[in-house]
Amino acid sequence: MASGIKDKVAIIGMGCSRFGERWDCGTAELQAEAFEEALKDAGIERKQIDAVWTGSGLDAVNTGNSAIPTAMALRLDGIPVSRMENMCATGTETLRGAAYAVASGAADIALAIGAEKLKDTGYGGLPTPYKGTFNDLWLPLGSAPAGFAQLAAGYRAKYGFSKEELKRALAHVSWKSHENGVLSPKAHLRKQVTMEQIINAPMIADPLGLFDCCGVSDGAAAAIVTTPEIARALGKKDLVTIKALQLAIGSGVESTTDQWDGSYVRTTRMAAKRAYAEAGITDPRKQLGLMEVHDCFSITELVTMEDLFISPDGGAVRDELDGFFDRTGGGVPCQVDGGLKCFGHPIAASGLRMAYEVYTQLLGRAGERQLSNPTIGLTHNLGGVPYLGIAAISILGLLG
C-alpha cells in the first residue's frame, strides 16, 4: 500500500512575482522574477538544480507547448525541464512533479515554476484553449461565471437559503479577501470595498456580481524542493515540509447520471479525504492553521469549505457570516493574502502562489498580515467546472 510523501520533501526556497497587469514584461521576465527570489531564498546556485517542472496553462498565449522557453529564460543549461498543464491545477501539478522526483530519489533538488501572461490577449476573461472534446461536447457556448452560478443555484436549492442570505454570505467572502489583499504587496487589487458595494455591484451571472468574480492577471511563482536531510546540510533550520499532495480528476459522471445534485464539487471531496489521510489529519477544522483555496468565484470558496470538511454540509454560510474564516478572530483563516479575488488568476501560477503564502506564514515572514504561530496550512485548486474538473490539494507544515 502506498505510504505517501509526508515529510519526505522540504521546501527550501520560494518566489512570487508581483501579480497584475504586467505590461512592462513578458512571460520570461515573470518567470525570472519568481525564480530569482526562490533561488536566493534557497541559498543555492542554479547548477545545483537536478530537474525542473514548468507550468503554463494556456500555451497559445504564453511559452508554447514545450519546456524550451523556460530553460532559455532561466538559463537552465543541460538541466531536464518538463512542461506541465492540468488546467487551473497546473501550478500545484508542477509542485507535485518536483516533490515526487525528490521523494523517489530521482533528484536531490528540484524546481517547480508556473507562469501565465494573460493580459496581452486583450480578452476580458480567460481565453478558450481547450479545443476538441472538452469544449465542443461539454461546454459549448459556456462560460465560467455561468457554470459556477449554477453551483450557487444547486447549493441554495439543496439547503433552502433565501437569495438574500446567500448573497450576504457571498459578499462576506469577497469583502474578507479585499480586507486581506490590502496587506499583500504583490497582489493585483489592493483596495478595500464595503459589503454594500459588493452587494449592489453589477450582476455578471446571477447571483454572482462583479465582486464575486476574480480578475485576470499576469504572474509567476516558484518553489525549490529537496529532502529534509539535504535542507539541514544546507543550513536550513525551520523546515517547511510537504505533508500531502493529492489530485482528483472527474470522469464526467456527475453530468451523465442523477447521482450529483449540483450543490458540491465531488473531486474536491475525493482529494481532501486522500490528503488528510496522507497528512494524518483527523479534524481539519481544528488542526489547520490557514487555507488558500480556489476562490475563482465567491460561491466556489463557500462550497469548498464544506468540500474540505471544514464546515458541515449546509453550514458554510453560517461559518462565513460568523467570521470563522476571517484573518483576525477566525477559526481557520482563509485567503490571508487576498486569494484569487485580489491576485487574479494567472492559471499556472495560482497553485504555487497559494503555497508561497502558506510557506511565508509558516516561517513568520508575512509582515502586517502575519498570523499567530501557524504550523500547518492547506492549498486547494479547482480546474474546469463543478461537474467536470480537477481538484488539487497540498498540505504544508513545519517539521516537528
Catalytic residues: 88, 345
Task: Give burial (CB, 10 Å; 0-12/13-18/19+) of 229.
Answer: exposed
CA distance 15 to 41: 8
Q: List beta partners, residue 15.
A: 222
CA distances from 1 to 4, 194, 278, 364 (A): 9, 51, 12, 36
User: Nine-digit cell at 287?
Assistant: 488542526
3-state SS, the chain, equals: CCCCCCCCCEEEEEEECCCECCCCCCHHHHHHHHHHHHHHHHCCCHHHCCEEEEECCCHHHCCCCCCHHHHHHCCCCCCCEEEECECECHHHHHHHHHHHHHHHCCCCEEEEEEEEECHHHCCCCCCCCCCCHHHHHHCCCCCHHHHHHHHHHHHHHHHCCCHHHHHHHHHHHHHHHHHHHCCCCCCCCCCCCCHHHHHCCCEEECCEEHHHECCCCEEEEEEEEECHHHHHHCCCCCCEEEEEEEEEECCCHHHHCCCCCCCCCHHHHHHHHHHHHHHCCCCHHHHCCEEECCCCEHHHHHHHHHHCCCCCCCCHHHHHHCCCCCCCCCCCCECCCCHHHHHCCCHHHHHHHHHHHHHHHHCCCCHHHCCCCCCEEEEEEEEEECCEEEEEEEEEEECC
CA distances from 32 to 17, 115, 354 (A): 9, 10, 19
